[in-house]
């Protein structure tokens, strides 16, 4: 199981929030919001979810749901709870509060069947022993070791494995059940008709999934050249909304010269954060990160004019073409 992007959801009193995740989510924390409406009152979080049907319930219509309490918080006493709760892809969940205070759910999207390609970034996690935040505008001041020693640094895999997360889980089947439809004669469908319909549906879904996978493979590995000579190549396409200028982006990266020498990297600790398109980083990043999605991996080939030009910077010589292997961690 691999964490691919952060996730959060605010819950307010009197409102029911419906969530249908586009990918599996693991909720790891429930906390009181920043503003407290009731300093002495308890606020309880309730979740309604589909009940897993029994094997012999094929003829039952509809989807039965279950409502469960997942936590109660009281200001000054219990203000947050650690949880280990999964929300599964394309399943409908509803959350509501009993109480007056705002509650924040937090966690991250997970890929429970991650299959990393050779040379990929590998498993991500949160090794917080060091805080390797680097500002790409001033590379020379951020390199903490002699650049000559960076050649021996093993940067083939970024390490960001959620601390304590060791279990490998198989992705469970969807808990949603389709409603039974009528047969061709208008009467309730027979078991044979249901089986036939199910086979057709599975076949259609399989073909759609295959087509989606083929389209994704076409995107991955194809190098594109943008204006100014900047080249981008997606080695892995992420999920969710695409990065746009004006958004805050969290990244991991390895920066290399054309001879393969590493001059800078951020593979541990806090991801490097910046505002896309605001001139906080080199132009090659402001243009090359646009369109990435959380979990996506890309190689940027940045020409001198979109990097550090004639002046260079620290270990970067003048008129250097730069190669960045980057991974998008979060988009806000």
CATH number at residue 327: 3.10.50.40
**Same domain, residue pair 107 and 143:** no
Which pLDDT does position 170 carry in this prediction?
A: 52
Rounded mean pLDDT of 15-39? 91
**Same domain, residue pair 291 and 153:** yes
Does some domain include residue 174?
no
Residue 233 has pLDDT above 70, yes or no: yes
Does some domain include residue 286?
yes
Is 109 considered catalytic here? Answer: no
Query: Residues 249, 308, 316, 331: which is the catalytic one?
Result: 308
Is 93 considered catalytic here? Answer: no
Is 88 considered catalytic here? Answer: no
Is 331 considered catalytic here? Answer: no
Does some domain include residue 178?
no
**Same domain, residue pair 263 and 148:** yes
Query: Residues 88, 108, 263, 274: which is the catalytic one?
Result: 263
Is 308 considered catalytic here? Answer: yes
Query: Residues 264, 272, 274, 329: which is the catalytic one?
Result: 264
Instruction: Burial-class residue 211 by CB neighbours within 10 Å (0-12, 13-18, 19+).
Output: exposed
Query: Residues 27, 282, 316, 323: which is the catalytic one?
Result: 282
Does some domain include residue 189?
no
What pTM does this model have?
Answer: 0.40
Which pLDDT does position 199 carry in this prediction?
A: 85
**Same domain, residue pair 101 and 241:** no
> Residue 42 sits in a domain of what CATH number?
2.60.120.340
**Same domain, residue pair 146 and 265:** yes
Query: Residues 109, 124, 158, 324: which is the catalytic one?
Result: 324
- Residue range 271-289, pLDDT digits in tens: 999 999 999 999 999 999 9
Residue 56 has pLDDT above 70, yes or no: no
Query: Residues 88, 109, 121, 253: which is the catalytic one?
Result: 253
Does some domain include residue 16?
yes
Beta carbons within 8 Å of 185's beta carbon, 6+ residues apart = none
DSSP annotation of 136 reads T
Q: How many CB atoms lie within 10 A of CB 243?
A: 24
The structure tokens 């650049």 sit at 147
Is 264 considered catalytic here? Answer: yes
Residue 59 has pLDDT above 50, yes or no: no
**Same domain, residue pair 155 and 269:** yes
The structure tokens 């009281």 sit at 74
**Same domain, residue pair 144 and 281:** yes
The closest alpha carbon to 295, from 215, 193, 207, 216, belongs to: 216
pLDDT above 70 covers a percentage of the chain that reads 70
**Same domain, residue pair 154 and 246:** yes
Runs of H (alpha helix) within 134-188: none
**Same domain, residue pair 99 and 155:** no
Structure tokens of 68? Answer: 């469960």
Predicted confidence band of residue 192 (pLDDT cuts 50, 70, 90)? confident
Does some domain include residue 307?
yes
Does some domain include residue 276?
yes
**Same domain, residue pair 92 and 156:** no
**Same domain, residue pair 227 and 327:** yes
2 versus 79: the higher-pLDDT residue is 79
The closest alpha carbon to 330, from 253, 245, 255, 241, belongs to: 241
User: Into how many domains does the chain fold?
Assistant: 2
Domain coverage including residue 231: 139-161+221-331
Does some domain include residue 319?
yes
- Dist. CA 108–CA 328, nearest whole Å: 14
- Dist. CA 305–CA 229, nearest whole Å: 9
Predicted confidence band of residue 17 (pLDDT cuts 50, 70, 90)? very high
Strands (E), 58-193: 65-73, 80-87, 93-98, 103-111
**Same domain, residue pair 81 and 150:** no
């Amino acid at each position: 199981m691999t964490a691919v992007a952060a996730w959060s959801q605010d819950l307010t009193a009197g409102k029911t929030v419906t969530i249908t995740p586009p990918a599996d989510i693991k909720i790891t924390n429930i906390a009181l919001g920043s503003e407290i409406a009731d300093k002495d009152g308890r606020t309880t979080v309730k979740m309604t979810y589909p009940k897993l049907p029994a094997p012999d319930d094929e003829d039952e219509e509809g989807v039965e749901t279950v409502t469960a309490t997942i936590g109660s918080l009281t200001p000054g006493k219990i203000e947050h709870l650690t949880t280990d709760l999964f929300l599964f892809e394309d399943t409908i969940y509803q959350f509501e509060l009993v109480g007056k205070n705002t509650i924040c759910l937090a966690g991250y999207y997970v890929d429970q069947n991650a299959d990393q390609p050779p040379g990929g970034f590998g498993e991500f996690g949160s090794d917080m022993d060091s805080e390797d935040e680097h500002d790409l505008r001033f590379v020379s001041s951020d390199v903490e070791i002699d650049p000559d020693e960076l050649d021996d640094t093993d940067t083939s895999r970024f390490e960001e494995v959620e601390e304590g997360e060791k279990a490998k889980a198989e992705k469970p089947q969807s808990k949603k059940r389709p409603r039974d439809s009528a047969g061709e004669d208008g009467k309730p469908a027979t078991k044979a008709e249901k089986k036939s319909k199910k086979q057709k549906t599975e076949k259609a879904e399989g073909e759609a999934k295959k087509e989606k996978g083929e389209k994704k493979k076409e995107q991955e590995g194809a190098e594109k050249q943008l204006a100014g000579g900047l080249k981008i190549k997606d080695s892995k396409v992420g999920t969710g909304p695409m990065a746009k200028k004006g958004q805050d982006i969290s990244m991991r990266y390895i920066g290399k010269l054309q001879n393969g020498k590493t001059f800078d990297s951020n593979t541990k600790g806090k991801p490097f954060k910046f505002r896309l398109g605001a001139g906080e980083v080199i132009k090659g990043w402001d243009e090359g990160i646009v369109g990435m999605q959380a979990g996506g991996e890309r190689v940027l080939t940045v020409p001198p004019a979109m990097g550090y030009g004639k002046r260079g910077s620290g270990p970067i010589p003048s008129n250097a073409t730069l190669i960045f292997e980057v991974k998008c961690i979060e988009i806000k």
